[in-house]
Amino acid sequence: MTPTLILAAVMGGYLLGSIPFGVIVTRLAGAGDLRQIGSGNIGATNVLRTGRKGLAFVTLVGDGGKGALAVLCAWLATRDAGPMVQVQLTALAGGAAFLGHLFSVWLKFRGGKGVATFLGTLLAAAWPVGLIACATWLVVAKLFKFSSLSALVATATAPVVALALGRPWPIALLAAVMATLVYFRHAENIRRLLKGQEPKIGGDKA
């Protein structure tokens, strides 16, 4: 694993992750500047507040897909290397894409909360871990109707699942670092959850 390959994985992943799909699709569709709508977040949940479910779906796929694409590109670049080199580089690329979403160079190093990119990255890097994280999100959302709570539970369990399934340590570390940053990004949501002021999926409060 050469320094050039590492730099390419990190920079390529970061630039992919920096693409603000929510901002782009809402502007192209004439729905306005997403950063001035609802919570101001650039993710699919806030796009839903425009009333355009199709735009929200495109944003979800784009934000998840850019993390997955970064991992896939790194995997292809190291297909002739050893398995540990491959998993290390894919983890670096996926982590860089996640950071790109949170701190987009195109948005003056601001960005989203990273949940879709978290899930897309894990689905590509370790699909059983990513699949369980997605299922966890869906179950918690169904039971409690809070998008933020679903994200917090799903991301917190992912590193544990990675270790329990015997995934290589770079995958568990990637999941843990991303989960920590998701919690950091959801600090205000956590405060509202504790106060019973967090809006539920669909708009109602607790």
pLDDT at position 203 is 61
Query: What is the span of the domain harbouring residue 36?
Result: 3-195
pLDDT at position 170 is 97
Number of domains into which the chain is organized: 1
Side-chain-side CA neighbours of residue 67 (13 Å): 31
Provide the 3-class DSSP secondary structure of residue 199.
Answer: strand
Question: Would you say residue 205 has pLDDT above 70?
Answer: no
Q: What is the pLDDT of residues 153-169, one digit of tens each?
A: 999 999 999 999 999 99
Position 66 in a domain: yes
Indicate the pTM of the whole model. Answer: 0.94
SS3 content of the chain, % helix, strand, coil (to 5): 75, 0, 25
Task: Please name the residue ranges forming H helices in 18-82.
Answer: 21-28, 44-47, 53-77
Position 65 in a domain: yes
Q: What is the pLDDT of residues 31-76, one digit of tens each?
A: 889 999 888 899 998 998 888 899 999 999 999 999 999 999 999 9
Position 189 in a domain: yes
Position 200 in a domain: no
Position 204 in a domain: no
Q: What is the pLDDT of residues 83-142, one digit of tens each?
A: 999 999 999 999 999 999 999 999 999 999 999 999 999 999 999 999 999 999 999 999
Rounded to whole angstroms, the Cα distance separating 174 from 118 reads 10
Contact, 21 vs 114, CB < 8 A? no
Query: What are the phi and psi torsion angles at 79 (to 5°)?
Result: -65, -20
Position 101 in a domain: yes
Position 52 in a domain: yes
pLDDT at position 204 is 46
Position 122 in a domain: yes
